[in-house]
Amino acid sequence: MNGSRALRPTVLVINPGSTSTKVALFEGERELHARTLRHSIGDLAEFESVIEQKEFRERSVREFLSAHQWQVSRLSAVIARGGLMRPVESGVYAVSQEMLSDLAACRFGEHASNLGAIISASIARDAGCPAFIADPVVVDEMDDVARFSGVPEIPRKSVFHALNQKAAAREVAGRHGQRYEMLNLIVAHLGGGISVGAHRRGRVVDVNNALDGEGPFSPERAGTLPAGQLLDLLVSGTLTESQLRRRLTGGGGLVAYCGTNDLTELIRRIEVGSRLAAAVFDAMAYQIAKEIATHGATLEGDVDYIVLTGGMARNRPLVESISKRISFLAPVEIVPGEREMSALARSALAVLSGDGEVKQYPVGVAIC
């Protein structure tokens, strides 16, 4: 690393989503530039798989850097949101060949976040700097007792908004002059998908699988469903397998009931008298509160704070509806929006400064 990098570390942060790629450039903890690069349905339609979008999305990231007259050689590190790979413990991981192979092959599932490490590795090679990921969606700290589903062939999995849950939890701890690792928290990420985790002294010991449909229904996901009725629907032939999968993820929840994934639009309909919108809104708040309350048992009643975070935590009616049902458990703290970009930047900076540990993805060797 050259002297200018050591004195003023600059970090490129990349966070691919289904129809966008968030990108930001940090100098230290100061955000220099940030943009959400939108990808239209038409742009993505020509690609048969997520991985085929790599060149298209990488080009848009490089164009972002060029627009701000920023040469990759000036980067100290590139860090990305982690994708679907082997379960790992929380932390910062060097991008390795095995990680790239698993993500490119979609060995553990296909999702746009798989592209994060792949794009970061490509840019980091040109920059001559390290590439990292941090707190990917597959962070797994679940207690063994939480893995039982009732069917041996279907163990419960930990797939959730680990990055934002951990960032929000640390922010709340900081507000109260405490360390995250010393608290018991219930953290609910409220977005297109909803995940609710029980954080016991720095470890998420139980959490719903937000990707595959556990937990409350959300703007786009069906949530936990009655298994027998789901099986009946599948064998009835009313829906094809692909249609049913779409109904579970992407076309469930608010979309299925009201034809929109926009909470603001749902509130507007309620204000003009829609009984359906009001009933669906109340049901979603009820299910979220119920999921939160279950973790009162997970943490044996020892809960310091309940944290509501994610994009929907900006919605006052939703926050109030949830809070009135669960405030008996513990004080409710609101951390609206997502802290993913700044959390990723801080993770890279900690490693660059020597204050953080770099972990190796199993069997892999760092290549950047």
Kindly report, residue by residue over 213-230, the tens digit of the pLDDT. 799 999 989 999 999 999
Query: How would residue 135 be classed by pLDDT, with cut points 50, 70 and 90?
Result: very high
Phi, psi of 214 (to 5 degrees): -75, 155
Dihedrals phi, psi of 335, to nearest 5 degrees: -125, 80
- The whole-model pTM stands at 0.90
Q: Is the pLDDT of residue 332 over 90?
A: yes
Name the band, by pLDDT with cuts 50, 70 and 90, for residue 366: low
Judge whether residue 2 has pLDDT over 80. Answer: no
Q: Give CA–CA dist 341/25, Å, rounded.
A: 9
240 assigned to some structural domain: yes
Nearest to 25 by CA among 95, 100, 60, 75: 75
Q: How far is CA 141 from CA 96, 158, 211, 249, in A?
A: 22, 8, 17, 24
Q: Is 113 in the same domain as 254?
A: no
Judge if 13 and 60 occupy the same domain: yes
> In which residue are the tokens 């339609």 written?
45
Residue 3 binned pLDDT confidence (cut-offs 50, 70, 90): very low
Q: Give the residue-averaged pLDDT of 252-277.
A: 95
Q: How far is CA 236 from CA 39, 230, 231, 241, 299, in A?
A: 36, 10, 8, 11, 41
**Separation between Cα atoms, residue 339 and residue 153, nearest integer Å:** 36
What is the average per-residue pLDDT within 282-298?
A: 98
Tell me, yes or no, whether 104 and 189 share the same domain: no
Both 133 and 158 in one domain: the answer is: no
- Region 18-44: mean pLDDT is 90
CA 109 to chain centre: 15
Number of helices (H), then strands (E), in the chain: 13, 12
- Residue 128 and residue 96 share a domain: yes
Q: Which helix (H) or strand (E) holds 336?
A: strand 332-336
Neighbours of 93 (CB within 10 A): 27
Give the count of domains, the chain: 2
Residue-number span of the structural domain to which 354 is assigned:
3-139+340-360
Calculate what percentage of the chain has a pLDDT beyond 90: 86
Shared domain check, 115 and 22: yes
CATH of residue 19's domain is 3.30.420.40
Q: Is residue 166 domain-resident? A: yes
Long-range contacts of 62-66 (CB under 8 A, 24+ apart): 62/123, 64/23, 64/33, 64/35, 64/37, 65/12, 65/25
The whole-angstrom separation of Cα 174 and Cα 288 is 25
Average pLDDT for the chain: 93
Task: In whole angstroms, give the CA distance from residue 318 to residue 285.
Answer: 6
Question: In this predicted structure, which of 17-26, 136-145, 304-313 has the lowest mean pLDDT?
Answer: 17-26
